[in-house]
Amino acid sequence: MENNAQPSLHKATFAGGCFWCMVTPFEELPGIHGIVSGYTGGHTVNPTYEEVCSETTGHTEAVQITFDPGLFPYRKLLDIYWRSVDPTDGEGQFHDRGSSYRPVIFYHDEEQHREAEASKAELQASGRFDKPIAVAIEPAVEFYAAEEYHQDYHLKNPLRYKYYRHGSGRDSFIERHWNTSKDKEALHKELRQRLTPMQFEVTQNNATEPPFRNEFYNNTEPGIYVDIVSGEPLFSSRDQFDAGCGWPSFSQPLHGGSIQERQDFTHGMYRIEVRSREADSHLGHVFDDGPKPGGLRYCINSASLRFIPKDRMEEEGYGSYLSEL
């Protein structure tokens, strides 16, 4: 099935067990325009949930994502997919068993096919898992949206979703196999080679650089700011303002999904820490004393950022963000 979304939008279809749990990993990412839970891969038309669960239709539960590859490329969606499933279990996922829960990457064109195969081979070669990677890679076929009560289930039934997800063993599996101490040691070794001591301490150890003695606190050039570690887009010069605090300040991030917030009780204070979503770099804090209408001030360390000037954005692969300036 061809990738026939709007010209600037593509579709990605992933099966990874219960579709309730396959929405949240993707929903807040930049460039995501919609996620539909549904059924695909089988031989019946417009199947119901009960029919799919009977294991007689050939369908599997899946999510279909509409996304802008200029803002979030397919390869990054694949990376998130692998970190959301047990890729060694081809007979189901966690405590959901049977073909209707089998993990599958459904590709919509040959480019997605090549990227999926390469990504799978890379994961297999990494040695992260003792067992072979068992996720199937198949051409996308007709996708049928599931019943309305299944759409955004985590929002409609948050408590039940929380208990279901925890009880399934999905989160504990992910925690055991990703972001391990070995991963962190390897990352820190690599980052010490390419970051300055200040950049390393700020992004990895939550340090704070001196006010007024940092690179971007008074920058007025148009462009975007990306994570110094991963290159993920974070803030636009359009939203930067002089807060008089000595650090770069922004009224909002480029996309809500590009950052994550955590409670911070260090130094005898209560604050909201801001971290990048992809690299989990410490960025700074967000306060409620910013300009209206939002009233927020994202106070960010220059050491966490790399600035891409407007005239270099296209060259460096950030052309899709020119409209955000």
Question: Which one from 21, 53, 245, 299 is the annotated catalytic residue?
Answer: 299
Q: In the Cβ-directed half-sphere of 288, how many Cα atoms lie within 13 Å? A: 3
Q: Is 299 helix (H, G, I), strand (E, B) or coil?
A: strand
The DSSP letter of residue 309 is E
Residues 189/271, Cβ–Cβ less than 8 Å: no
Residue whose tokens read 């209560």? 270
Q: Do strands 104-107 and 136-139 pair parallel, antiparallel, or not at all (unpaired)?
A: parallel
How would you label 168-196 residue by residue, b for 16+ Cβ within 10 Å and e otherwise? Answer: bebeeeeeebeeeeeeeeeeeeebeeebe
The CA dihedral of 3, 5, 9, 14, to the nearest 10 degrees, is -60
Query: From CA 244, how far away is CA 149, in angstroms rounded?
Result: 49
Q: Do strands 10-15 and 60-67 pair parallel, antiparallel, or not at all (unpaired)?
A: antiparallel
The residues near 289 (Cβ < 8 Å, ≥ 6 apart) are 295, 297
Catalytic residue check, 21 = no
Strand partners, 264: 271
Reference 236, options 136, 307, 182; nearest CA is 307
Question: Which one from 18, 21, 53, 245 is the annotated catalytic residue?
Answer: 18
Residue whose tokens read 């081809």? 90
Catalytic residue check, 18 = yes
Residue whose tokens read 């940092």? 214
List the catalytic residues: 18, 299
